Amino acid sequence: VVKDIVSKFMVVFRRFRLNSFYPVLGQAVEVDSAFEGWTPCEEEEIIYRMLVPMVPPRGHAFYLEPGRVGQTRVRYSHIRVELQCTCSEVGLVEDMLCFLHHPEEELRNQDPSLLRTLCTGSYLDVEKTARWMHQLVKASWVALPESAQWRLKMLPPGRSCKFQIRKPNNKRILIELLFGVRRSLSDLFFSNQSSDAIFMPKTAWLESYVVAEAKFFRHVATQAPRDSFHLKCLQVCTRILVDTSFSTYTLKTVVMHLLTSVPLSHWRRRDFLLRLLDIMQYLRHCLEEKRLDHFFLGNENVPEEIILPPTFRTATPLNLFQHLAQDPVAHAEAMREFTDLQDR
């Protein structure tokens, strides 16, 4: 249902923006726990996330400029927008004036460039883009056949576009649209995902592996036995960690590492308790060593089906627990919290 609705939105979006200079939206990709099959949330609290790839409109180009990685270890880029000459495209793009070489007076009769709509300075602004997407969803809803019986409620935009759809039976569906720019031809995006960082600039687009992660779990599903319990293991562990400082992403990373080291034939129902024990022991070891390696960066065990930039598999691994190595108080608290978990 969610994929069908979002696909219909995309069709309407393209119709609305046919002759404008907003980002061109690609086919939405199902990502995160609800689509991967391990959501720790109750049904009413599930958020269905889809990532919408963006490419520059006519007469524009995107350039990624890496941001500075601080103590939070958050990797991000700024997306610089540049105008491109379209003079040679006369006749190919009907009625389009070149933003670089036509007089300002003539350009007033044309929709404004992306630099004037969704950018702050020369950089694509996450919050402006989220508000634009928010407006698109709201305006497009009436064009969907579901709008006759279903109700749409837009949620306040921040770094993403969230909305709620309520069916006639009163069942609620919560959808979050992520959007991002692909790095080269890889499964890596720079997206509007939120971060644990205290402050992120409005022009900061976070390095996102949600598409690669979704592909990884689809790959595992094709290789694992039909009665594999690997998703159930992840779901149970993330539910155990609710109301703790451990993020679901930490557990997801642990399980992805184990899925490439423990044979998939050992994740059946009969192995359930053993694998749960493996997950918690792996987490304990990482906490003791103050080191949890990022799954995709510097990991040669990532399946070949997942397309990463050429240097990623051989890069120096990124330590997701770097903050614990730098802060003895935070490390001691994490160890205490893990000990308390075992008593649950």
What is the model's pLDDT at position 69? 61
Give the per-residue SS3 of the chain.
CHHHHHHHHHHHHHHHCCCCCCCEECCCEEEHHHHHCCCCCCHHHCEEEEEEEEECCCCEEEEEEECCCCCCCCCEEEEEEEECCCHHHCCCCCCCCCCCCCCHHHHCCCCCCHHHCCEECCEECHHHHHHHHHHHHHHHHHHCHHHHCCEEEECCCCCCEEEEEECCCCCEEEEEEEEEEECCCCCCEEECCCCCCCCCCCCEEEEECHHHHHHHHHHHHHHCCCCECHHHHHHHHHHHCCCCCCCHHHHHHHHHHHHCCCCHHHCEHHHHHHHHHHHHHHHHHHHHHCCCECCCCCCCCCCCCCCCCCCCCCCCCCECCHHHHHCHHHHHHHHHHHHHHCCC
170-188 per-position pLDDT tens digit: 899 999 999 999 998 999 9
Global pTM reads 0.92
What is the model's pLDDT at position 207? 93
The domains located in the chain, with CATH, are 2-208 (3.30.460.90), 213-341 (1.10.1410.40)
Task: Answer yes or no: is pLDDT of 72 > 60.
Answer: no
* CB of 310 closer than 8 Å to CB of 298: no
Average pLDDT on 292-301 reads: 94
2-56 per-position pLDDT tens digit: 999 999 999 998 877 666 899 999 999 999 999 999 998 887 789 999 999 999 9
Percent of the chain with pLDDT over 70: 95
Percent of the chain with pLDDT over 90: 74
Per-residue burial over 80-103, b if 16 or more Cβ lie within 10 Å, else e, is: bbebeebeeeeeeeeebbbbeeee
Task: Answer yes or no: is pLDDT of 95 > 90.
Answer: no
Task: Answer yes or no: is pLDDT of 155 > 90.
Answer: yes
Assign 67 a pLDDT band (cuts: 50, 70, 90): confident
Task: Answer yes or no: is pLDDT of 109 > 90.
Answer: no
CA nearest to 324, candidates 246, 207, 239: 246
Strand partners, 66: 77
What is the model's pLDDT at position 91? 55
Lowest mean pLDDT among 15-19, 109-113, 164-168, 248-252: 15-19
The more confidently predicted of residues 320 and 157 is 320
Assign 136 a pLDDT band (cuts: 50, 70, 90): very high
What is the model's pLDDT at position 269? 95
Distance CA 305, CA 186 (A): 11
The more confidently predicted of residues 125 and 200 is 125
> If you count them, how many residues does the chain have?
344
Average pLDDT on 193-219 reads: 89
Mean pLDDT over each residue of the chain, to the nearest integer: 91
Distance CA 247, CA 238 (A): 8
Assign 344 a pLDDT band (cuts: 50, 70, 90): low
* CB of 53 closer than 8 Å to CB of 182: yes
